[in-house]
Each structure stands twice: as C-alpha cells, then as structure tokens.
Amino acid sequence: MNAAGLQYFGLRADDNVRGMAENAGQAIITQINARQTLARFNQEGLDYLADHTGGLSIKNSNDLTRGMDRVLNDQAGYYLIGYRPDDSTFESRKGERRFHKISLEVLNRGGLQVRYRNGFYGFTDEEAKPTLVADLTPGGTMFRRLTSPFIATGVTLHLTSLFANQANEGSVLRAMLHVDARDLTFKQEADGWYSAAFDLLAITFGNTGRIQDRVARTHSLKLRGENYEAVLKGGFVYHITIPLKQPGPLFLRVALRDQATAHIGSASQFLEVPDLSKGRLTLSGIQLNAETPDSTQKSLPPANSNPAKPASEAAEDPRFDPGVRHFRSGMTVEFGYIIYNAKLNTATNRPQLFTQVRLFRDGQQVFAGPVMPYDSSKQEDLRRLENIERIRLGSNLTPGQYVLQVVVQDAFVKGKYDTATQWMDFEIEP
C-alpha cells in the first residue's frame, strides 16, 4: 500500500519560477512530466513486488481506510493451492539453482480471480534451514531484522558502499556505516572513561537471493574527554570490507545491536558489481569529503585500518566525513575515484582520458564542469588509475539533496563503451 495518496504534479508555492517567463508553457510541462515520472518510479517497486508474489498493489487513493478494508476482505475467503516439486527441481547446474516459473489457470469456473507467485528457486527446506538462526539468540534477532523488508530504527544508521578493485585484494566492497552514538548505551568507568559495546552483522545477497558473504563482529568503544564528546555529538563511522566473489547485482544489508538495551538498527543498499574481466572502462565508487591538506596521500576508496573511527577524525566537522557528506555552500569538496580498464597507447604505453564533473538536484543539472584531460604521468599502476579532484560548492546552491556525477571518456575506445560514469549523493545544509 502506497500511503502517499493522490499527488499534485503542477507548480507549487516552493517552485523556483525564475527564468520561466520566456517559455512558461514548456517549462511547466517539463516540471509536470518530471514529477509524474518520479511518482511512477516510486510505485514501480510496489507494483513489481505485488505482481510477482500474488499480492495486491493499492495506490493512488487518499482513502487509506478503504485500502485496509480491501486487504482484510481479501483474506476473508480463498482457496490456497500448493504442490510438491519433483526431485529434479532441486538439482543445481554449474553450481547454481535455476528459477522455475509457475503458471496457473482456472478453467470452467467463473467468479474466481487467480493470483500466484511467478516462480521459485529450487532450494529444499533442509538447505534453507542453516540460514535460520535460533530466534532466542542475539544473532537470530539481528538476522530477522536484517532480512525484514522494514528498516529497524532502534539505532540510527546511514550506509555508504563503494566498489573497488585492489591489486592485492581483488574486487571488494568498502562499506562505511555512520552510527548515531546517542542511540548506544555508554557506561561510565574510572578516570573519566566511557565504554559501549555493540554487535554488527552484514550480509550480501546475490541476484538469486542467496547469501554470498557475511561479516559478524562484536566491537567495543572506550572514549573519554573531547573524543567522547565528539563521538556523542557527531557519531562515528564503522568501516567494513567484504570480498566480492562475482559480478552482478548485489544487495547489502547491515544490522547493529546495542548490547546494553538490545536495540537494533538496520540499513541496506543495492549496487551493481561490474565485471572487470570484460575489459570495459569502469569507475570505482566515489569517496566524497571536505578538502583536507593531506588529500594526495589518501587511499581510494578508504582503507580499513581502523574499523570504528570517530567521524570527527576524518574532518574538522564530523558532518563532512565520507560516510555522512553534509556540506555547506561555499565549501571546497574533494572527491576521489579509481579508473579501471583504460586503453593504453601502444607507442607511449599511456592512456588518453578526459574527465568531467556534473551536479544535479531533483534530477535537473545545476552545474557542468569543463572537460579536462587526465594526467597519468604519476600513476604507477596503469590498470588502476587514481584521480582526486576538487570542486567548490557555489554560494548560490540552495540547501537540499544533490548528486555529484563523474564522467570519464576514453579516446582510444570507439563505440558505446568509450564512456563510464559514477555518482555520489550529498547534502548542502542551511
């Protein structure tokens, strides 16, 4: 059920109508189309989930009571049909289980509506049981919260995930989890020390819904003085590195549990893991933070030397940390990324790349930087070209959510794979 109700797509009081006078009609149409597209996009997940699982999609109505009545009435009377698949259904092919489609039709009987799941993967009940941790254990509670379609809010979390490929590690996922320390329980100890303990569980799911990898840890924080005050005010960033075993769609879910209160918070993120073996131009995730004097010495994406790092250690203000990304207009922000699979000139053994940065707000481009040649003269690993750039956030940028996009073009590649793009969101505060 989409509780947003009927939506108005025309001009509103908070719209910026500056510059619309010359072609007001087209500007209004463009604004309406953009809002309609966004509304449709927000409902597609609801429709898809309902259609493929035999459920109902209730939307575009201001009468939530009627929607709830429809849900309850739907459960008042029905026939539920099931069947037992053949043993061959559960046989794997090349180490993977096939998706089995289901089609159901009712013949010679009017007045019936048929809804059903569109298919299933061939996993037996016995194979599924190892992932069902005992409900009474802390791990079991975290697993249930982590696999729930609803976000747990007992501990406030903000998740940022970056893809990277390192020579000594291969492809990895760098996850930065910002934790609101005010939701943890700190116990006062001797000599002004404060300590808190929490459990963390991170799981990656592949495109079949099976678990690819998991990280389970117990961590303790012990702070005092200014560090304690800074963490309590700005939180801290917990770094997680997860090996990536195969390319394709990946769903990361993280749960954190305060040991003292058993309060749990969760966060999730979807990303597409690129296949570098295809040799196509590819970019890592973008590390975005406030400019610092030692920016040229940074590792991209961030290293995992200290898994639980106070956000205040990353910048003068904890809001500017790569795991938070809250900036102010007029600031200089630096962003770093890695370029993979750039083609090399056979004579010079050097690439010829061009980069550009763009800013978007509400789907509209608000800034486009010049196309700049990339300098690879100081790069030692030509398979992994690091690049750190800076951009000044103009004082005319109004507070709100923004997206920074990086565009890289390879002059030695012709066709649709000559360009790679990557983006990262951030917020400009008032």
Give pLDDT, residue 85: 83
Exposed/middle/buried for residue 391 (C-beta within 10 Å: 0-12, 13-18, 19+): middle
Nearest to 339 by CA among 418, 243, 392: 418
CATH of domain 278-430: 2.60.40.3880
Give pLDDT, residue 372: 95
Q: Which of 122-131, 201-210, 314-323, 418-427 has the highest mean pLDDT?
A: 418-427
Give pLDDT, residue 344: 94
Instruction: Give ranges for CATH 2.60.40.2550 in the chain.
Output: 137-273
Find the range with the poorest average confidence among 49-53, 153-157, 194-198: 49-53
The third-level CATH classification (topology) of the domain covering 137-273 is Immunoglobulin-like (2.60.40)
Cα separation, 259 vs 267, in Å, equals: 18
Q: Where residue 131 falls among pLDDT bands split at 50, 70, 90? A: very low
312 pLDDT above the threshold of 50:
no
Find the range with the poorest average confidence among 123-137, 210-224, 253-267, 380-394: 123-137
Nearest to 160 by CA among 236, 269, 321, 251: 269
CB 251 within 8 A of CB 186: no
Instruction: Give ranges for CATH 2.60.40.3880 in the chain.
Output: 278-430
Mean pLDDT of the chain: 82
Please indicate whether residue 128 or residue 303 has the higher confidence score (pLDDT): 128
Give pLDDT, residue 387: 94
Give pLDDT, residue 16: 64
What is each CA distance from 201 to 135, 179, 254, 307, in whole angstroms? Answer: 15, 14, 6, 14
Cα–chain center distance at 150 = 15
Q: Where residue 110 falls among pLDDT bands split at 50, 70, 90? A: confident
259 pLDDT above the threshold of 50:
yes
DSSP bridge pairs for 34: none
